[in-house]
Structures are given as C-alpha cells and as structure tokens.
C-alpha cells in the first residue's frame, strides 16, 4: 500500500502528469459549462489542427534548447521554407511531396548556415538567430512580391487540401468513415514527434546532442564532435520550422509572407512548460506537446466564453506566469530539501533513484555554489 | 593564560539523515597553526561553515576571544575578524581578480566603488603571496591553480584575527604552497590564529603546531600538540582503523617494447619546446611540475587541442597527427582524465549511464545510430563493479555522487572504451586518504594489466608513491627524467634540484 502511495506521489510530482491533469480538468470544465466546446468539426478539429502545428513549432525550438541555444528565427525559417514550397508548386508545378522536400531542404540550409555561423564565430545563438530573423523578415516578403502576384502563392498541388483542411471523415473504408472531430494534419505532427523522440531517446546522435548541451567542454573532452552536433541541431531546427510552415500553409490554403510571424513566443512556451531545460541537456517531446496543448485549450475555451483577444492574452500571460513560478518554486524547495544543505563530500541520498526527472531537480553542487555567490 | 582565539564546544549540526557534526569541540589558540583533519564527510567543511555563519548549528557554543557569538551570516563573522578560504571555488568568473579579492567589502568613495583603492588592496593581497597577477586580469584567464591562489588572497583581504583555510593547497604546486606557508608563518608571528584543513600529511606535519581530528562528526583527537603524533597515528585516527602504510608494490616494466606513446622534440603553439619522452605499456610515467609549467597544456597538445609546431608524436612507433579527442580515442586508444572534474570530467546533470557510456556510443550504435539501452547499461554496470563506484542506480545524476566517486566515473568512461594509453591529470585533488589509497591501487592495477599511464600531478608525495619514472617540467620544457626510488627525501631533493638547478633547495623542503 505504501509503495502504491509512493508511486502515486512520484507520478503526481512529474510535471508532464501535472500538465495532463490540468488539460483534462479544463476540457471537462469547458465542456460541461459550454457544450459547444465539444463540437467536433467547428471547435475540436480546428483546435487539434493548431495544436499539431504549434507542437512542431515547439519542437523546432526544443531541439535548439537541447544544447542550451535558442532559435529566435524559428518563425522566419518557417516562412522561408513555406515560400520555397509555394514557389515550387506555383512556378515549377511540382507535386506535393517533391515541393515539400525542397522546402524542408531550404529550411535545413538556413538552419545549417545559422549553426555554422554560431560554431565558427562563437557568437551567442541569441544574437545570431536574431540577426538571421531580421535578414529573413526583409528577404522573404521581397521574394514574394518579386516572384508572385498579390504577394502569395496560391497554387494547390493535389493532396494539399486533404492534409491541411480535412478530417478523418474523408478517409473511408467501405462504408465506415472516420470522425470529423480529428483533422488529418495531426498525422505529420505525430510522425515528427515520433522521429524527434526516437532521436533523443534511442540514438547515439541524440545522446551526444544532450551531453553537448549539458556541458560542452566535458563533451568535447569525451570525444564528442561538439561543433558538428551544434550545427546539426540548428539544421534540424530549421527543418522542423519549415515543416511547421508547410502545415500552416496547408491549413490556410495559400503560401504567404505572414506564415510563421506568430511562432516565436509559443515556440518557447511549449518546451518550457513541458520541462525542457533552458540551459540544455534535457528535453521532453511529450512535455512540449502537452505544454502547447494546455495553452491552446485555454485560448479556445476563453474564446468560446466570448473573452476578447486582448483580455485573453493578458489572462494567458498571467496563467503562464503562475504555472511557471509554481513549477520554479517546487523545483527550488525540492532542491533545498534534498541537496541544498548536504555536508560537503557526503553522497546525496536520492529518494527516488529510478526517476531521472525528479533527480534532475536536485541542482548539483556547482550550481548551488553559483547561486550562493549571487545571493551574497 | 591566554584566551583562545576560537573555542568551539559541543557543536552539533544535523542534516536530514546525517549528523554532520556531533558535539564537535575545538580550541584554537592565537599565534598557532592548528590542523583540522578528517576524511571527506567527517564534518570539517561543515564546521567551518558554521563558524563563519553560512550554516547555523543546532546546539553548542562558539566563543571568539572569550566572547560568545552567534553569526547570522558571513558578514557577521567577517566583522568579528574571522577570515576564511573555502574549499569550493567561490570566485565570480565574470569579474576581474581585483574585484574578486575585494568582493566582500568593496572600497567606497561615497556611493561609488573606489577603483584605484580596489587595485591597491588587491595588489597588496597578491604581493603577500608573491603572485605576479595583474588585478585587472579577468578570472576566466586564470588556470585552476591561479584561481585557487586568488581565493587564498581573498582570505587575506580583511584584517583577520582568526583565519580558516579549508584545503587551500588542494590544487596548487609545492612552490606555491611554500609561498602560502611563508604567509602563514608571518601571520602566525603576528598572533593570528590559523585553522588549516588539508589532506596532505606532509604539509600538516611540517607547518602545524596542534591538531584536531574529526571522524563522522565527532572529535576523536581534541586540540593536542602535533608533536606527539606520527603520520600513521593520524591516519589511524582519521579512518578509525589501522590502514596499511602507503607502500609502492614491486613493479617491473618491459623496457624493450615499442613505446605506446612517444614524443620526439615536440614544440607546440602552447609554448612547449623540444619535449621528448617515451611511455611503454605497463609503465607509469610521472609528469611533475609547478603550476604553469605546461603539463596540462602538454596533454592537450597530445590530444590535438593545441597545435604542433615541430617534432613528432609517435603511437606504437608510428608518426601520428592527432586532431581531436575523438581521433585520439577512436584511432589511437588514448584517453584523458581531466584535472577539472566538475567542469570538464563529468556531466553533473546527466545519469551515470550517460557519463560512462559517452565514449562508447559510436561503438554500440547499430543501424541508424540506434543504441540499445541494454548494451549500454551492461557495459556501464561492468565498470561500476570493477571500479567499485558507489551508486544507488545507473539513473542517478553524477552531481549527486561524492567527489571520489565522480572521479571514478570520469575514469570509468575511458576504461569502458578500452584505451591503451591513459593520461591522468591530478587524479586525487580533494579526495580523502582512504579513497586516495583505492585510487593508487587502481592505477597500479591498470598499469599491471598493460595500460600505459602518463600521470600528471603537483602532489610530490603522490608522484613518488605512484610513478616508475618522473619527468620534471618547468616553463614548457622537460628539465630531466629520474628513475623513481620511492624514497621521499631523496626524490624530492632530486626533483627540486631539477626545477632550481642553480639554487640550493629551499629550507624545509
């Protein structure tokens, strides 16, 4: 019985479980107060569609965070990728998959360039990606007005509408069709989540990226080619951003310069709420998904209650702040209780050694020393 | 009868699950150097932290010059004339040397910092240690040892009647330690009471007057004159049972084999000139030198982290050009255990599995880079068992282990990768006597199994215990190589003579 209790306690302490609990609670709350919230084609399908898109955006940021970097150009990389795709469909009449691939390569290329600059110059990723985003903010609309009529590519290759705007209701087997509450665009999002999860949890490359994020000096001295790993991470971030750009274009039906303009802030919210460390070395794909889901469920719910956009943004800001500060507080008190006042040289007692997420919260001595220094 | 400078009575401090101090008692007289000894975790650092107001004791009394005190924070202790050099590096890396020294009490001119005065004060502290460091130097440009010396200079900044030194010599060379002891002698003559924590018995016996030994938070030797003790007795008191005297085993190296690693007149961008040596399998070659002699830089040059200007590196008789640690590891089977465990040796926030398997992922990887968790874990389990690393699970974070176990983890990753040449840089800094002993046994065992070991250390007694031969480096040049006879007196004289060829060895050395 006690072990069951311990297990329950441990699970409840996991931030991912906490997020899931909040999401379920809110859905039940909104659903019972406003039954319209559970309407399939008009509420749930669009909601899931934006969750799918922003999860991919969140992952594009998460991979940069995994090495302690950031990608402030995530939106602009998405818009560049989308522009290239639109160009392929509109001017070169390419089929869906081919144009998508070319666009992803464009995203990868701009990401690789960013990564290369960061590694070669040693300039902070914040600055390099900020500069990159400015350059692209200028470049992409200029390209649109030069290459398209009306500053948008509107040609739709076969299949674009299916993936972007339709639900499982369009997929039929004999006489039975799927539900119209679930959009098809969740499929690419699930595929991407699976691939990123596999990368970080199962492969050598993912492990090497995480140790690079954890301590780049130690990684280099352990034989990890840290420069190449950093470049890969930015390449991947650009690729995922371009994929998100494609998903937005598919869901609205045209390729415009506005794609990606609102990506940057949400891209941080998902990973951070989900437990990804800003300092690098720890990521959570599921957490990123749950973090994005929570914010979008709140947004949608408030929208149904007729809360205006301005009020909604203020409310969202407050909710995020509260959520993050309780999390921060929990971290801090947990760390103090377990490791903070440990006599030097004594190995720490781990309450739950088989729970890496929990153990992570125990800041190592060096971190504490720094904290103390700052406090003084 | 003089009043004790510091009198600690029945001090108890409990952490969840551990009694760090259990009625600890200590009397420190003015004008004496008092050794505080004990193994890691015996409570030495906790005692110092309570005395300086960083931690608060549960019960017991502290008197400073006969006056009962309660410190709420470090500033209170400072105002009472207690200076301290902590074991952990507490420097602010983004600041300059001068700022760090004066950090506790910045000289002011009205509301503004008096920068010229900061420089003057910092210079004064640095001069006391004969340190030729400009106060304007950023901390980031200093080596580990120089950082430690600045830390000591910081303890000299304020007027102190009681100076607490927590392992100040852990990562500095004999020469620099000698400067420190000259300062200690001077302060002692001026009547300052000094509490000195060190794991180095030689230092303690040479410079201390009295001794207190802590074991598991309890005082087992209470403020007695050091003259009545032998080294073995002190070790016995610390570990609580008789520990065999550190004696090098009989070892023989087959000198006819092709050297596993050889440098031939190597000059580097780091500044080395004409460095040559040969290291054979099964051999422990000691590379001894003062701080700044270029030992760590030589290791980095071998690994390709510094450029080669002239000369060659040979691995098993063949000229090689190593460009990265990865190449050194995968192509030439050379591993490097760094001197800077926490910053370069382990990933504090990553699990043990990751910390040890990091060198072997490329070997374990299957199709599409897939690393089977089972293979990884069994390989790590093997190393954990072989090195006797104390962990509760492989998922435990490396940052939660004690220093000795972290060091074992940082060594284990190279053993897991089957390296044939191991460069070990300062393996036992800040590690207690018993763990040190097990490290020595381990290094001997690895050599007996055929590993070629290049041992870098600034602990001369460690060098004389462990090495088969000692190469002495000074200012990026190897001054000479000596066969090790394992006689401390004889060897230390020989080493000092190589470093200072013209002068006679300094008194007391």
- How high is the pLDDT of residue B422? 96
Task: Determine how β-strand B477-483 pairs with β-strand B469-474.
Answer: antiparallel
CATH code at B129?
3.40.50.300
Give yes or no: residues B215 and B271 share one domain. Answer: no
- Region B411-434: what's the mean pLDDT? 88
Give yes or no: residues B204 and B149 share one domain. Answer: yes
Check: CB of residue A71 under 8 Å from CB of residue A64: yes
Q: Where are the domains of chain A?
A: 40-167+178-265+343-375
Give yes or no: residues B66 and B200 share one domain. Answer: yes
- How high is the pLDDT of residue B76? 87
- How high is the pLDDT of residue B289? 84
- How high is the pLDDT of residue B507? 39
Per-residue pLDDT tens over the stretch B13-24? 887 666 788 899
Is there a domain that residue B394 lies in?
no
Is there a domain that residue B281 lies in?
yes
Give yes or no: residues B121 and B213 share one domain. Answer: yes
Of B20, B43, B413, the CB nearest to A222: B413
Q: CB burial class (10 A; 0-12, 13-18, 19+) of residue B317?
A: exposed
Give yes or no: residues B196 and B308 share one domain. Answer: no
% of residues, chain A, pLDDT over 70: 82
Owning domain of residue B33: 6-239
Give yes or no: residues B214 and B279 share one domain. Answer: no
Give yes or no: residues B270 and B235 share one domain. Answer: no
State whether ipTM is beyond 0.85.
no
Q: How far is CA B246 from the centre of its chain?
A: 19
Give yes or no: residues B127 and B204 share one domain. Answer: yes
pLDDT category of residue B418 using cuts at 50, 70 and 90: very high
Phi, psi angles (nearest 5°) of residue B197 = -105, 130
Judge: A366–B349 Cβ closer than 8 Å, yes or no. no
- How high is the pLDDT of residue A338? 36
- Region A316-323: what's the mean pLDDT? 75
Kindly report which listed range (A116-120, B31-35, B68-72, B378-382) carries the lowest average pLDDT score. B68-72
- Region A145-157: what's the mean pLDDT? 87
| Distance, first Cα to last Cα, chain B | 34
Phi, psi angles (nearest 5°) of residue B32 = -130, 160
Check: CB of residue B298 under 8 Å from CB of residue B275: yes
- Region A319-325: what's the mean pLDDT? 72
Per-residue pLDDT tens over the stretch B424-473? 998 887 677 777 888 898 999 999 999 999 999 877 778 888 999 999 99
Give yes or no: residues B31 and B145 share one domain. Answer: yes
Tell me which chain A residue has its CA closest to the CA of residue B340: A218
Is there a domain that residue B364 lies in?
no
Indicate the number of domains in chain B. 2
CA dihedral over A60, A61, A66, A72, signed as positive or negative: positive
- How high is the pLDDT of residue A99? 95
Give yes or no: residues B75 and B211 share one domain. Answer: yes
Across-strand partners of B113?
B108
Per-residue pLDDT tens over the stretch B382-399? 999 998 888 888 988 888
Per-residue pLDDT tens over the stretch B295-353? 999 999 999 999 999 999 999 999 999 999 999 999 999 999 998 888 899 999 899 99
Q: Which residues contact B495 (CB under 8 A, 6 or more apart)?
A: B288, B460, B463, B470, B472, B482
Is there a domain that residue B50 lies in?
yes
Edge-to-edge order in the sheet of strand B318-320: B275-279, B261-268, B308-315, B318-320
Give yes or no: residues B209 and B322 share one domain. Answer: no
Q: How many CB pairs under 8 A join A and B?
A: 164
Mean pLDDT of chain A: 83
Judge: B361–A219 Cβ closer than 8 Å, yes or no. no
- Region A276-300: what's the mean pLDDT? 90
pLDDT category of residue A340 using cuts at 50, 70 and 90: very low
Highest mean pLDDT out of A52-66, A145-159, A265-279, B233-247 = A52-66
C-alpha angle with apex B106: B101 to B108, nearest 5 degrees? 145
CA–CA dist B287, A213 (Å, integer):
33
- How high is the pLDDT of residue B193? 93
Buried b (16+ CB within 10 A) or exposed e, B92-118: eeeebbbbbbbbbeeeeeeeeeebeeb
Is there a domain that residue B203 lies in?
yes
Mean pLDDT of chain B: 87
- Region B162-181: what's the mean pLDDT? 83
Mind telling me how many Å the CA of A269 is from chain B's nearest CA?
23
Check: CB of residue B285 under 8 Å from CB of residue B483: no
pLDDT category of residue A163 using cuts at 50, 70 and 90: confident
Highest mean pLDDT out of A155-169, A344-358, B239-253 = A155-169
Compare A255 and A362 and report the one with higher pLDDT.
Answer: A255
- Region A175-191: what's the mean pLDDT? 90
Judge: B358–A224 Cβ closer than 8 Å, yes or no. yes
CA–CA dist A180, A45 (Å, integer):
7
Give yes or no: residues B152 and B39 share one domain. Answer: yes
CA–CA dist A130, A73 (Å, integer):
6
Is there a domain that residue B122 lies in?
yes
- How high is the pLDDT of residue A358? 34
Mind telling me how many Å the CA of B9 is from chain A's nearest CA?
20
A355 contacts in B (CB within 8 Å)?
A: 395
Per-residue pLDDT tens over the stretch B76-122? 888 888 888 887 777 888 899 999 998 888 888 888 989 999 999 99
Check: CB of residue B196 under 8 Å from CB of residue B208: yes
- How high is the pLDDT of residue A375? 35
- Region A32-60: what's the mean pLDDT? 92
Judge: A218–B18 Cβ closer than 8 Å, yes or no. no
Which two structure tokens, joined as six digits, stand for A329? Answer: 């507080």
Q: Does domain A40-167+178-265+343-375 have CATH number 3.40.50?
A: no
Judge: A373–B92 Cβ closer than 8 Å, yes or no. yes
Mind telling me how many Å the CA of B435 is from chain A's nearest CA?
12
Is the pLDDT assigned to residue B405 strictly greater than 80? yes
Across-strand partners of B108?
B113
Per-residue pLDDT tens over the stretch B53-76? 888 888 999 999 988 988 888 888
Compare B416 and B160 and report the one with higher pLDDT.
Answer: B416
Mind telling me how many Å the CA of B127 is from chain A's nearest CA?
25
């Amino acid at each position: 019985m006690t072990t069951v209790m311990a297990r329950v306690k441990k699970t409840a302490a996991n931030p991912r479980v906490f997020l899931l609990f909040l999401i379920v609670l809110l859905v039940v709350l909104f659903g019972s107060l406003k039954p319209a919230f559970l309407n399939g084609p008009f509420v749930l399908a669009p909601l899931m569609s934006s969750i799918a898109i922003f999860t991919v955006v969140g992952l594009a940021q998460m991979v940069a965070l995994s090495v302690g970097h950031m990608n402030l150009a995530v939106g602009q990389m998405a818009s560049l990728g989308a522009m290239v795709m639109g160009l392929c469909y509109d001017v070169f009449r390419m089929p869906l998959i081919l144009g998508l691939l070319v666009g992803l390569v464009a995203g990868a290329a701009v990401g690789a360039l960013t990564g290369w600059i960061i590694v070669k110059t040693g300039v902070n990723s914040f600055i390099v990606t900020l500069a990159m985003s400015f350059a692209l903010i200028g470049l992409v609309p200029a390209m649109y007005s030069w290459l398209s009529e009306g500053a948008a590519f509107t040609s739709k290759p076969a299949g674009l509408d299916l993936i972007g705007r339709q639900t499982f209701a369009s997929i039929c087997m004999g006489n039975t069709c799927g539900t119209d509450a679930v959009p098809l665009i969740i499929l690419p999002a699930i595929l991407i989540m699976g691939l990123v999860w596999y990368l970080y949890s199962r492969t050598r490359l993912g492990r090497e990226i995480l140790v690079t994020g954890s301590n780049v000096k130690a990684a280099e001295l352990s034989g990890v080619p840290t420069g190449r790993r950093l470049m890969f991470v930015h390449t991947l971030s650009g690729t995922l951003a371009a994929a998100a750009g494609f998903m937005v274009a598919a869901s609205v039906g045209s390729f415009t310069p506005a794609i990606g303009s609102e990506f940057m802030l949400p891209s941080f919210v998902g990973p951070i709420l989900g437990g990804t460390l800003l300092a690098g070395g720890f990521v959570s794909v599921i957490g990123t998904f749950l973090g994005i889901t929570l914010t979008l469920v709140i947004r949608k719910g408030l929208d149904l209650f007729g809360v205006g956009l301005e009020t909604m943004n203020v409310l969202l800001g407050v909710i995020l702040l509260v959520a993050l500060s309780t999390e921060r507080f929990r971290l801090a008190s947990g760390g103090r209780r377990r490791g903070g006042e440990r006599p030097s040289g004594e190995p720490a007692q781990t309450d739950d050694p088989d729970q890496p997420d929990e153990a992570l919260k125990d800041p190592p001595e060096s971190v504490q020393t720094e904290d103390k220094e700052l406090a003084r | 009868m003089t009043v004790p400078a510091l009198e600690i009575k029945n001090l108890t401090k409990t952490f969840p699950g551990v009694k760090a101090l259990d009625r600890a008692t200590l009397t420190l007289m003015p004008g004496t150097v008092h050794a505080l000894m004990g193994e890691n975790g015996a409570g030495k650092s906790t005692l110092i932290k309570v005395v300086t107001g960083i931690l608060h004791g549960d019960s017991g009394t502290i008197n400073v010059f006969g006056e009962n005190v309660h410190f709420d924070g470090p500033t209170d202790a400072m105002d009472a004339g207690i200076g301290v050099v902590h074991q952990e590096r507490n420097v602010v890396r983004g600041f300059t040397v001068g700022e760090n020294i004066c950090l506790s009490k910045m000289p002011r001119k009205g509301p503004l910092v008096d920068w010229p005065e900061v420089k003057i004060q910092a210079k004064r502290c640095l001069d006391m240690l004969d340190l030729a460091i400009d106060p304007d130097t950023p901390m980031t440009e200093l080596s580990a040892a120089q950082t430690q010396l600045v830390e000591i200079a910081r303890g000299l900044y304020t007027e102190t009647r009681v100076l607490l030194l927590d392992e100040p010599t852990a990562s500095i060379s004999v020469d620099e330690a000698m400067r420190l002891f000259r300062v200690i002698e001077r302060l002692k003559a001026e009547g300052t009471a000094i509490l000195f924590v060190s794991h180095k018995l030689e230092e303690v016996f040479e410079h201390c007057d009295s001794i207190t030994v802590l074991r598991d938070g309890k005082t087992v030797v209470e403020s007695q004159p050091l003259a009545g003790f032998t080294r073995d007795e002190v070790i016995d008191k610390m570990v609580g049972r008789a520990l065999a005297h550190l004696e090098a085993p009989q070892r023989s190296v087959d000198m006819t084999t092709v050297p596993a690693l050889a440098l031939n007149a190597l000059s580097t961008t780091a500044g080395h000139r004409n460095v040559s040596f040969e290291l054979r399998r099964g051999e422990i070659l000691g590379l001894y030198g003062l701080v700044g002699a270029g030992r760590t830089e030589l290791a980095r040059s071998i690994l390709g982290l510094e450029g080669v200007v002239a000369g060659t590196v040979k691995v098993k008789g063949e000229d090689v050009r190593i460009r990265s640690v990865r190449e050194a590891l995968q192509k030439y089977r050379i591993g490097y255990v760094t001197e800077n465990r926490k910053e370069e040796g382990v990933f504090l926030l990553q699990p043990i599995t990751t910390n040890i398997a990091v060198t072997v992922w490329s070997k374990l990887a299957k199709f599409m880079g897939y690393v089977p968790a089972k293979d990884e874990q069994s390989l790590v389990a093997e190393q954990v068992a072989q090195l006797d690393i104390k962990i509760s699970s492989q998922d435990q974070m490396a940052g939660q282990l004690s220093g000795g176990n972290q060091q074992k983890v940082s060594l284990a990753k190279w053993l897991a990768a089957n390296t044939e040449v191991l460069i070990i840089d300062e393996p036992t800094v800040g590690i207690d006597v018993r763990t040190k002993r097990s490290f020595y046994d381990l290094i001997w065992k690895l050599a007996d199994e055929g590993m070629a070991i290049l041992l870098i250390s600034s602990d001369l007694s460690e060098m004389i215990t462990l090495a088969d031969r000692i190469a002495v480096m000074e200012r990026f040049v190897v001054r000479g190589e000596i066969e090790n006879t394992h006689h401390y007196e004889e060897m230390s004289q020989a080493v000092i003579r190589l470093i200072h060829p013209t002068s006679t060895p300094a008194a007391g050395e």
